[in-house]
Structure 1
Amino acid sequence: MPTPRTLALAASTGAAALAALLTAPAPAASLPAEAVPPAGTYYVQSAITGLAAADASGAVEQHDPRGDEDHQQWTLRAQGSSYVLENTDTAGSCLGRAGDLARTLACGSADAAWEIAPAGEDRYTLKAPGAERYLTVAPKPAGATHPAALAVGAPGDLATWYLTPVASPTRPMPPADQRTLDQVTFLTAHNAYANGVDGGFAPPFVNLLPNQNRGIDQQLADGVRGFMLDLHQTPDGAILCHDSCTLVSRPVALWVDLQRMVDYLAAHRDQFVTVFMEDYVDPGVLRAELARVRGLSDVLYRPDRTGVRQNGWPRMADLIAADQRLLLFTDHSRAADESAGLTRDSFGVMYQREWTVENYWSMGSGVGSSDWSCYSRWYDANTTLPLTRTEPGFRPLFVMNHFRDATITSTARTDNTKLADRARRFCQPAARKKPTYLAVDRYDLGDPAAAVTTLNTYVYP
């Protein structure tokens, strides 16, 4: 936006006072990891990639987390002075080593025994007894992801692991005046603009398969609090379209839908809204578009100015009291904006990869087989941002995507009935955190709001 007034935080109490209000109390210092976790069933997850150790016909490989469907669960127990991890799908078969490779072996084998020691921040090492050889992820070749096969080698970051309980204990959700932003789950509409009600969003044949079938105003009234929007640049500014705005009739401008949200917040002062922008516009165009939204600066929340990275996410009650109730994210690259000379966070739009983690967006084509695994959207040859990413004092918000390539009504209805189950069995342990945003197509089908209600009864430590 062109002026400080447009997107500056409302500061009637002064910037320092506002920061103090929105800064949650510093979390208690992390307790040292237990010397060895208690006996039980675990996922063995790389602390670097977030992927899970799986028995692959005798080899041990890191795979996308897939709950109980891919030989990824291991029962930890003491065996003599060491420990073994027995695969729950193959009795008597334990995670072990053969030369420099991880293998499954008979649990009584000396090469199936491990010394387990804490490596800080709830991480552990698995060491061969009597040798400086550790279960590890193989180094990443240039231009590729880490190899699937797990290795036995030198200590270091690649040899650190989370032992994530298959059935993690939970505790009740704190009272409303104490719960923090990252403890709450919000119903989120994927491609919220692609609804066929507010205006056109794609060429005619794609318009036949809208991601939603209710307009933004109705979505707000129905309890949707997260909105995923695709932005494309035209001579008219930032326009909401799918893939391209060519041949789209009556497309909606970004500022129009944001104005709907800001007006809703003005009328409902206890509510909080988040917008995720799949962003294909120049930063100057986006800034000008946001400048058109009346009252945006009055409700904009700036986590970059309120100590979140040092102290964690603030209490929802404090955000509401400060009237900071609209959070804007972009999936655009900070590096690209720096090259252009204008970063989006300079006018209040946060770079999503700095503040969230997010699983890969598709569960399949829309018909036929499903992929229920939960792995990072941002894990490839160039980027390693696992779902398990944390920083001292800070846990990213978790965006859980639960939709397909195409929105088929019958499939969306069935998928949305399984949302809570996928969150509990697949995505929650994969990310080691509870979803903050549950993003679905056709939120009106299959009652995904019920899954949100269930998730909002507890916190996942």
Structure 2
Amino acid sequence: MSTSRRLLFLPPPLLAAAIAATSLITAASADALVGDSCSASSGRGGGCGAGLRCTTCVPPPGTGPAACARTTPIDPKTHGQGTSLPFNRYSWLTTHNSFAIVGTKSPLGSAIISPPNQEDSVTSQLKNGVRGLMLDTYDFNNDVWLCHSFNGKCLPFTAYMPALTVLKEVQAFLASNPSEVVTIFLEDYAAPGSLSNVFNAAGLTKYWFPVEQMPGPGGEEWPLLKDMIARNHRLLVFTSKEGKKGTEGLAYQWDYVVENQYGSQGLVDGSCPRRAESKPMDSTAQSLVLMNFFTTNPSQSWACGNNSAPLVSRLSTCYDAAAKRWPNFIAVDFYMRSNGGGAPLAVDVANGRLQCGCDSIAYCSSKSGTCAMPPPPSSSSAAASPSISSSPGPAPAAAPAVGGAAPS
């Protein structure tokens, strides 16, 4: 057995402790950690550490004892090999229907009957480490709106907000965070010219990654992340509608991304079927992989029970389906909901595998591309476990053991 795979087959108690140690990256030692009890009455975060929040996942959400759960993945730019790898060697937390937020009141005054998919604003999502946004765009009310459709049309009771509202949030974030890169996936029902107008109005064109500089077919590498940042090419925009490359500079998603089936149809055990519009999952002509993990009918309770261990386990299934490639984007509903490490843990696992073959980005030694176990989380004075070396890049085997040992 190669050293790059030893971490995957640690005895369950040790592996569980190793995954729990990941939370130490984002939580101060004096604060509660993942799974610890907490109370919203104790102030910011309910006493939980940075990157965590105090929440309940006993059905229905909001009942039962509260515990600390993760909201924020480890920043891969500051761990492992930093920004020195191609863009396609990173994984990013992605929110499905990022705009469909619980409690949104329509600017039109209508009651919104479309089910929500997230619980906080896009600004908050970005602050929590979300770097992929899925937006549904429609021509509506003489503008471009973010909307769910009813019989293929945006209507007052399914329209959440003008697209410009969210795009201005993205612009403000990029302006205030000059080392961050954001990707937008557009489910595009807008007429030609509409989207370029609203992106221009939002002031986002200066961050645009030129579509002509995107890798061609054949699975070519993307530019290094540090070079994208240096050139200010920090906004990638993909559209589901073909033919907008020449007129609006919008990249046709399926030329660059393979994506598994969204919704409940994509959650069949042991399978990771492609989305109908996507090329087959094992097509290497596309250099990026997007993994959907959410039900057809959005459910906070489902997210609570599945955004941790089942999601991490799902990485292995889609890794095998996608020609042994780990996902670059992991898209979920209610990304803050979990009974443990949640979607941030899954992103940490994917980044660990992409960058250095480790089970978490927390174990990637700086610049060396090797794995090193952190000290046991139960004692700050305990000696570190022996280093576990690995070759850089994705390991040749999936990681089923990780899913079973995620915090519960």
Shorter-chain TM-score tier = 0.5 to 0.7
Q: Displacement, 1:304?
A: 2.1
Kept in 1: contact 2:148–2:158 (CA 8 A):
no
Q: Radius of gyration: which is bigger?
A: 1
Percent identity for Structure 1 against Structure 2: 28
- After the TM superposition, list the runs of 4 or more consecutive aligned residues in structure 1 that deviate by more than 3 angstroms: 196-207, 306-311, 369-372
Distance 1:440 1:239, change over 3 A: same
What is the root-mean-square deviation in Å for CA atoms of aligned residues?
2.6
Contact 1:387 1:430 in 2 (8 A): yes
Instruction: Extract unaligned runs of 5+ from structure 2.
Output: 1-78, 355-393, 396-408
Aligned length: 268
Equivalent residue runs for 1:52-63 within 5 Å: none
Aligned counterpart for 1:234 among listed residues 116, 140, 146: 140
Greater share of helix: 2
- Partners in 2 of 1:212 and 1:328 — Cα distance? 21
Alpha-carbon offset, residue 349 of structure 1:
1.4
Q: TM-score, normalised by structure 1?
A: 0.54
Deviation at 1:370, TM superposition (A): 5.3
Match of residue 301, structure 1, among 194, 209, 215: 209
Match of 1:360 in 2: 261
Cα drift, residue 237 of structure 1: 1.4
Residue 329 of structure 2 corresponds to 437
The answer to whether the aligner puts 1:374 opposite 2:265 as a matched pair is no
Q: Shift of residue 387 of structure 1?
A: 0.8
CA contact (8 A) 1:401 1:438 kept: yes
- Map 1:191-202 onto structure 2 (within 5 A): 191-196=97-102, 199-200=105-106
Deviations 1:36-92 (A, max 9, x none): xxxxxxxxxxxxxxxxxxxxxxxxxxxxxxxxxxxxxxxxxxxxxxxxxxxxxxxxx
Matching residue within 293, 300, 311 for 1:409? 300
Map 1:235-314 → 2, pairs under 5 A:
235-243=141-149, 244-248=153-157, 251-294=160-203, 296-305=204-213, 309=217, 311-314=220-223
Partner of residue 388, structure 1: 282
Deviation digits for residues 197-229 of structure 1 (CA, Å, limit 9, x no counterpart): 55439984734x310011111111111110001
**Larger strand proportion, structure 1 or 2?**
1
2:399 paired with 1:399: no
The unaligned stretches of length 5 or more in structure 1 are 1-172, 335-342
1:454 has 2:355 as partner: no
Please tell me whether residue 332 in structure 1 is matched to residue 241 in structure 2: yes
Letter of the 2:146 counterpart: L
Letter in 1 for 2:183: T
Q: Is the 8 A contact 2:92 2:132 kept in 1?
A: yes
Corresponding residue for residue 65 of structure 2: none
Offset, 1:303 = 4.1
Q: Say if 1:273 and 1:345 are closer, same or farther in 2 by CA, change over 3 A.
A: farther
Distance, in Å, in 2 between the alignment partners of 1:198 and 1:264 is 21
Contact 1:194 1:201 in 2 (8 A): no
> TM-score under structure 2 normalisation?
0.61
Kindly provide the amino acid, as one letter, of the partner of residue 175 in structure 1.
Q
> Which residue number corresponds to residue 211 of structure 1?
117
Q: Taking structure 1 as reference, are residues 249 and 241 closer, same or farther at Cα in structure 2, changes over 3 Å only?
A: closer
Q: Deviations over 1:363-392 (max 9, x none)?
A: 259xxx95562111136xxxx72111123x
For residues 89-111 of structure 1, what are the alpha-carbon distances to aligned partners after superposition, in whole Å with 9 as ceiling and x for unaligned? xxxxxxxxxxxxxxxxxxxxxxx
Q: Which string of whole-angstrom CA distances, capped at 9 and with x for unpartnered residues, describes residues 430-457 of structure 1? A: 0021100000000011121111112111
C-alpha displacement of 1:251: 3.4
Distance in 1 (alpha carbons) for counterparts of 2:129 and 2:206: 22
Contact 2:146–2:159 (8 Å) recurs in 1: no
Q: Is the 8 A contact 1:239 1:251 kept in 2?
A: yes
Which SS does the other structure have where 2:237 is aligned? strand
**Amino acid of the residue matched to residue 404 of structure 1?**
T
**Cα distance, 1:411 vs structure 2:** 0.9
* Residue matched to 2:95: 189
